[in-house]
């Protein structure tokens, strides 16, 4: 009799167990919660959004002091401004093996914007770009740009995410740090490096990378803003 009761109990448990397990198993995950972040835009995707120019600068810039004419306009876009120019090498800031009075005839031991500890930026280590000092041509601050702002620099199919780290001559545009050039495959030597053309600079309005010297933060911030730029233009 006890065996019969035991068998009946086991049979009842077997019948109940599948439904119990089903109710205890976790519900399927919400697919919307597991969506992977969008991939960073490619160089081609970014360049496709800079094919035209809604000029925001009052005139154009030279690429170099001895350039024969003014050829570079600053263009407005949704969430950013951009320009297409050359790249001169900025080696200003902290003295390093790569950047000093011996390697750069025009070396200055300071940058317009400083690290979180108050020191000048390190051009050999930190990818940053140079914006022209404010003038009647263009005031970068009027376009929502500031020190530590996020930028994408594109050259030869590569994208480098950098910060706004220094200001330059008011009539010239197209300059970036030693580290920016090196990462893009451009000769970074301040005395004979750089490239004469083919560089696109996209700077995102009202953006800030903090701290300014953290390149990892610049990359993650820049990739997110670049994706928004591609989607909104």
Closest CA to 149 of 198, 210, 91, 60: 210
Sign of CA dihedral 210, 40, 186, 182: positive
Q: What would the pLDDT profile of 186-196 be if each residue is shown by its tens digit?
A: 999 999 999 99
* Contact by Cβ (8 Å): 140, 131: yes
- Does the pLDDT of residue 118 top 60, yes or no? yes
- Does the pLDDT of residue 180 top 80, yes or no? yes
Cα–Cα separations (whole angstroms), residue 127 to 27, 136, 168: 46, 28, 16
Q: How confident is the model at residue 38 (pLDDT cuts 50, 70, 90)?
A: low
- Does the pLDDT of residue 12 top 60, yes or no? no
Closest CA to 177 of 94, 89, 64, 84: 89
- Does the pLDDT of residue 27 top 70, yes or no? no
Predicted structure pTM score: 0.84
Q: What would the pLDDT profile of 70-90 be if each residue is shown by its tens digit?
A: 999 999 999 999 999 999 999
Q: What would the pLDDT profile of 126-165 be if each residue is shown by its tens digit?
A: 999 999 999 999 999 999 999 999 999 999 999 999 999 9
Paired tokens of 57 = 């600068």
Question: Cis omega before residue 211 (within 30°)?
Answer: yes
The DSSP H or E segment spanning 43 is: helix 43-48
pLDDT at res. 25? 43
Q: How confident is the model at residue 18 (pLDDT cuts 50, 70, 90)?
A: very low
Residues across the chain: 233
| Residue located via tokens 């109710």 | 23
* 225 C-beta neighbours (distance < 10 Å), count: 22
- Cα distance between residue 88 and residue 176, in whole Å: 6
């Amino acid at each position: 009799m006890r065996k019969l009761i035991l068998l009946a109990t086991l049979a009842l448990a077997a019948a109940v167990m599948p439904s119990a397990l089903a109710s205890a198993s976790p519900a399927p995950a919400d697919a919307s919660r597991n969506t992977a972040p969008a991939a960073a835009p490619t160089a081609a995707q970014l360049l496709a959004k800079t094919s035209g120019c809604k000029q925001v600068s009052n005139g154009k810039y030279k690429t170099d002091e001895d350039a024969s004419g003014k050829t570079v306009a600053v263009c407005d876009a949704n969430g950013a401004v951009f320009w297409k120019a050359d790249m001169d090498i900025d080696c200003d800031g902290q003295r390093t093996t790569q950047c000093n009075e011996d390697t750069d005839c025009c070396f200055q031991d300071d940058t317009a914007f400083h690290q979180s500890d108050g020191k000048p930026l390190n051009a050999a280590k930190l990818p940053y770009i140079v914006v022209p000092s404010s003038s009647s041509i263009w005031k970068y601050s009027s376009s929502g740009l500031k020190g530590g702002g996020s930028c994408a620099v594109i050259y030869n199919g590569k994208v480098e995410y950098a910060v706004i780290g220094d200001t330059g001559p008011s009539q010239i545009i197209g300059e970036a740090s030693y580290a920016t050039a090196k990462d893009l495959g451009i000769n970074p030597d301040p005395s004979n490096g750089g490239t004469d053309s083919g560089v696109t600079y996209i700077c995102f309005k009202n953006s800030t990378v903090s701290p300014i010297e953290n390149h990892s933060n610049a990359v993650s911030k820049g990739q997110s803003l670049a994706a928004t730029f591609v989607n909104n233009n």
